[in-house]
Amino acid sequence: MIKLVDLLLEFPMKIDNINTIPELMKSVLSMPTLNSKEMISATSKINEEGIYFWYLTPEGAKRWEEVLSLVSGKPQTVDYCQTNKEGNYLVYVGVAGSSAKEGKPTGLKSRFIHHIGKGNPKSSTMRKKIFQTLFPDVDIEDDFIMKSKNIKDGGGQYYTQYRGEYDKFIDENFRFNYIKASDLSLDKGMTIKAAIEKIEMSFIHSCVLHLNYKGVPNDFKPYTSDRKLDPNKK
């Protein structure tokens, strides 16, 4: 397990103005990243809000271009504008809220259970989007099935016959890191929700993040996480 840096020492103590956000962004890009298994383990008990980051490795960036080229029917070249200290490309920034019903997983734990863990894959737009890009001829709604065996004893789980290929693709090509809400010291009157949304938008506006919809070139909008992908509409 890669040990994350002490965020309280690395990040500015106040998220208050346009000057502190760039410093926080630099800190995020200097943080070590986790692979998918490490990310699930690291967030497994974090039932609080936060903001999280997806990166493509250099090899993963090439692989993603190959996938997009196959899906679109023409060669695709993606311009990545932010790398972290490990040389990975930042491609997505997301907010993990805590609006789930009482008794259900919330925040970062819930987000990654569904993104890359064993949760309901239909509840993750990111997962559905990557899945549909990898397997454009598969009806995603029909393929996500609830395994009912022993479900009343807690043995049921969502699965897909393509799950192994999806997991392998994520494990080999993506890296992750995150900020917990409790890692931020806020100015008086600023809510956690407002702070993490401000951080999210600052990242998005600073760089073309190819798995975030906002600011992405039109050719790549069908492959971002914030819109449903219709494989019949290129």
What per-residue string of b and e applies to 69-97 under the rule 16 or more CB within 10 Å gives b?
Answer: eebbeeebebebebebeeebbbbbbbbbb
DSSP string of 18-52, one letter each residue: TTHHHHHHHHHHHS--B-HHHHHHHHTT--S-EEE
Residues 182-196 have a mean pLDDT of 76
Q: Give the percent of the chain with pLDDT over 70.
A: 73
Q: Where are the domains of the chain?
A: 7-223
- Is the pLDDT at 174 greater than 60, yes or no? yes
Among 13-22, 78-87, 136-145, 163-172, the least confident range: 13-22
Whole-model pTM over 0.85: no
For residue range 24-51, list pLDDT tens digits in order.
788 888 888 999 999 999 998 888 888 8
User: Rg of the Cα trace of the chain?
Assistant: 18
Name which residue leads in pLDDT, 104 or 111: 111
What per-residue confidence (pLDDT) applies to 190? Answer: 74
Residues 70-98 have a mean pLDDT of 87
- Is the pLDDT at 10 greater than 60, yes or no? no
Q: Give the percent of the chain with pLDDT over 90.
A: 21
Rounded distance, CA 32 to CA 176, Å? Answer: 9
What per-residue confidence (pLDDT) applies to 57? Answer: 95
Binned at pLDDT 50, 70 and 90, residue 56 comes out as very high
For residue range 195-234, list pLDDT tens digits in order.
788 888 888 888 888 898 877 878 888 888 876 555 454 4
Residues 68-89 have a mean pLDDT of 88
Rounded distance, CA 171 to CA 36, Å? Answer: 6
Q: Which two tokens stand for residue 145?
A: 């099935």
Average pLDDT of every residue of the chain: 77
Binned at pLDDT 50, 70 and 90, residue 140 comes out as low
